[in-house]
Amino acid sequence: MTVLVAYASKHGSTAEIAEAIAAALRDDGLAADCAAVGDVGGLGSYDAVVLGSAVYMKHWQGDARHFLRKHAKELAEMPFWIFSSGPTGDPAEDDAAWQEPKRTVAKAEKLGVRDHVVFGGRISPESGRMAKAMADNTPEEYRDRRDWDEIRAWASGIAADLGG
C-alpha cells in the first residue's frame, strides 16, 4: 500500500504538516511519499492520497484546487483524505471567524473523500511584511497552533483504514 501525501504550502507550515502525516503513515507500516502538488505528475503508482492545503482568505491554494480538479476521476476511484491548515491566534477569537473553503470541501465530498480535518496553522514573521504584522498582533503562544499529536493521530487513523 503506497500513499501520496500532496500539499500546497505558502510559507512551509502546511508542508511540515504533510511531512508529519507521511512520517506517521510510514511508522504505521505504509509506504508514503510526500510532495508539493505541483511536483506530482500522476497518481497511477498510488493506492491512496492525502491532500492538504494552506487556507488564506477562505480559499485553498490555487495549485491544490487545480490538483483536485485535475485528478478528480482518479481520486473518485481510490481512498483519499483532505486537510486544511490555517487558524492561528487566540482560539476563542480566531476559530469563530475562520472559515473553511466550502466549495473545495464540497467538491471533495462529491468525489468521496473519506475525511476532512482542519489543523491549526503557524504565522512566521520571516514570511514577509504581512506575516510580520500578523505575528506582531498575535500573542506568541498562538503563533503556532499546529497540534502534532492530533496530526499524528489523524494519520494513524488513515493507516488503520488502509490496513497499515
Instruction: Report phi then psi at 135, rounded to 5.
Output: -65, -40
Q: How confident is the model at residue 53, as a pLDDT? A: 95
Q: How confident is the model at residue 101, as a pLDDT? A: 79
Q: How confident is the model at residue 127, as a pLDDT? A: 55
Count of beta carbons in the 10 Å neighbourhood of residue 121: 26
The domain locations on the chain are 2-161
Closest CA to 153 of 27, 13, 2, 41: 27
Q: Quick one: fold of 2-161?
A: Rossmann fold (3.40.50)
pTM: 0.86
Distance CA(160)–CA(164), nearest Å, equals 5
pLDDT by 10s per residue, the chain, length 164: 999 999 999 878 899 999 999 999 999 999 999 999 999 999 999 999 999 999 877 789 999 999 999 999 999 999 999 999 875 555 555 555 556 778 999 999 999 999 999 888 776 655 556 555 555 555 566 667 788 999 999 999 999 999 96
What is the torsional sign of CA 55, 59, 61, 67? positive
Distance CA(53)–CA(60), nearest Å, equals 6
Q: How confident is the model at residue 55, as a pLDDT? A: 86
Closest CA to 75 of 39, 107, 32, 35: 107
Q: How confident is the model at residue 86, as a pLDDT? A: 77
Type and span of the H or E element at 21: helix 13-27
Task: Count CA atoms within 13 Å of residue 39 on its CB side.
Answer: 11
